[in-house]
Structure 1
Amino acid sequence: MMLKLFAGLCLSFVIMSSVVPDTLAQSPYAYVSSDSITVGDRFGLILVVPRPAEAQIARPIFSAPNGASTIRFGDLIIFKRLSAGQVALASGDLPLADTLVYEAATFALDSAFVPPLRLRLVTNTDTVSVATTSFVFPVVSLTEEGMEDIVDITPIASFPPALWPWFLLIGIALAAYLIFRYRDRLRIEDDEEEEEEPEIPRDPPFVEAMQRFEAMEASGFSNEMVKEYFVELTDIVRVYLSRRIQIPALESTSTELLYHLKKWREETTDEAPLETKLAAILETADLAKFADSHPAEELSRKALSQSRELVEQIEEVVDELEQQALRREEELENADQTDEAVTEPELNDAELPAGTETDKVSENVS
């Protein structure tokens, strides 16, 4: 990965020190430093901006949100600016061009899209807006070389049938059966002699998640353990979601997990989008785990705080849903009891034997 990035930077420095062709000298353009970019690798995004001698590019070109260490631009993630320089143009109306190199990475599959980048050229008397042209470049998957086209197996060679494998198979099966019966008899005897130890009950999902969050806060943050820090953080969230709301969080990718959480929210509650907060957590964690990014300690602690808030928010929603279900069940039970109390006297009057009222009148007359 570093070799590809170094090659791209060398190419950009060659461009800075040479004369730019006239065909590309009149409009800004951008390109990547390598023609073979792998998912998660870092490479150079090179920006060339022709300009008049008295003009300057309005900065900053890329602006990160508050507290963020990276910038998302199309399918790219921009980390930092590596270099800046100027080159002279061979001909044309614009004599100079600024050349800027940024360190970037992408997690797109098959191809990555780079949108137009709008710039402002500022002079003493005027401001001109220009933009680069969007482009798409291929992204190489992580499949090992030589595995793209797997050759089919050769046909099975024909040999005369042999009987010894069958005898061997029967012998192995018989031996396995005898061993199984012997071990099963020992197990039954052990069960009769010893009482089974009771299983230790597992803590509820919310209690377990809070305990693991507190353990992370107590252990502190270390720059040498950034990857392990975010592996533990995302595992806490995934285990909680899997146990509490029964979505396939442990075996899902980040994109699939966001889809499952959004589907659950839309089916159960009107709560504000929970998946938006989860998306920010997963993006920071994926950069740390797969792109060798080292978020600042403040950003890492913020991800921990956001994870705790997300778990607490989902717990409140699930508790409310459970309370609503209990209230509906109690209302149904009360309604059934009321119906039984109303219909019982009516049944008693209807089942009164004939002649009972006549007998009562006769007794009173006597």
Structure 2
Amino acid sequence: MKRLTLLTLLLALCTTVRAQDTPAVRARVEPDSIGIGDRFDYVIEVDKDLVQVVQFPEFTPAHHGEIELVESLPVDTLSREGRRLRLLKRYRLAAFEEGRYNLGAARVLYADKNIVDTLRSHDSVYLEVTTFRIDSTSQSIYDLKPQKNLPFRFREISGFLYLGAWILVLLTGIFFALRYWLASRGKGLGDLFKPAPPQPPHVVAIRALEALHHQKLWQNNRHKQYYSQLTDILRTYIDGRWGVSAMEMTSDEIIAAMRTVELQDKARMDLTAILRDADLVKFAKATPDGEQNEADYLKAYYFVEETKLVNDGPETVEDEQIKMKN
């Protein structure tokens, strides 16, 4: 009997020592009474041994929509005495509904050697949320006031008016300066909007021939396109130079029309050769060699150079066209 009593006492003592070694958990709110929309801190404190491991929970408020988590602050060490540590964890929350809330007991996960357990604080935590109280007997309630219309003031737009006046003065000065500059050169303001005078037909033709040469059409076996563009350049030049509607004529009609024009025999023969070669390529699907292609290009180039109008006197292109018609 004595041995049984002694064994019971030893078991009770071990249980008491183990209970003392288990970390202690406490919880509170700071402050415990707030107004709607205010923030408060849910605080958990743990006293534990140095080798014991505790894990604070991810705080999820039980009253969803009424209490919301704003910020979870890192764990802080409040004190250390020998092997004992005091840890503190803060959760910053906000409440949006009036009432008294039971936030429950704090829960902390605890691990020590082969022991894994959930520790709870002894008491539940309560929060009081209040709102503004309006005494309608002593305070009168009024409707919202309508928007007040203020009188118009000149200074509200004076800056825009001054800016517009300065811009008007600047534009006027630019106008008269430009007018004076043009008058000193014998021109008027209307000369600024006149279209550029048309370029002489031979200038247009030479530029078109140079552009055609850079395309390298016949070098890429595009002979038909090459001769079509070459003859179109000559037709346009003949129309602009002598007033012959060559764009609407066949090769034979162009040759016949050019018999009334004063030309050197070489120029007439070159024009005929180019038109005949072009017809063979376009209609008979002939494929000339590179030497012939280059030769026809040079014939067209020198035809323009040898027949271009050199304006040494009062005679112009229009004068020569009138002379041909007569």
Do they superpose with TM above 0.5? no
- TM range, normalised to the smaller chain? 0.3 to 0.5
**Bigger Rg, which one:** 2
TM-score normalised to structure 2 length: 0.35
- From the two aligned structures, give the one with the greater strand fraction: 2
TM-score normalised to structure 1 length: 0.31
